[in-house]
Amino acid sequence: MKINIRESAIKDLKKISKTNKEGIHKKIFALEKFPDVTNLKQLINFVPAYRARVGDYRILFDVTEDLIEIGRILHRKDSYKKT
């Protein structure tokens, strides 16, 4: 699967410490094997439709037939707040 990272997710990633970034990068590359990835959860009544857990961070993303679009990368306390 192809992975697209939105500008908002890139901005989020710039705010994260180097040690946490390494785990997030590994998980993003692992998403190419979707749905055979651990720590994924399909969200109900929430856009984006999926989340991947990496320590205290959540990668929020949508999936279409051949594309994974990463929308945000947030700390868990901020990841489900309505804006």
Q: What is the pLDDT of residues 9-55, one digit of tens each?
A: 999 999 999 999 999 999 999 998 877 777 788 888 777 789 999 99
CA dihedral 16, 36, 67, 73 (to 10 degrees): -20
The 10s digit of each residue's pLDDT in 67-79 is 999 999 999 888 7
Q: Which CATH number fits domain 2-75: 1.10.287.3510, 3.30.2310.20, 3.20.20.70, 3.40.50.880?
A: 3.30.2310.20
Closest to 45 measured CA to CA, from 82, 5, 3: 82
Name residue 75's beta-bridge partners: 57
Nearest 5°: the CA angle 61, 67, 73 is: 25
Write down the pLDDT at residue 43: 86
Name residue 74's beta-bridge partners: 58
Q: Is the pLDDT of residue 83 over 60?
A: no
Q: Is the pLDDT of residue 1 over 80?
A: yes
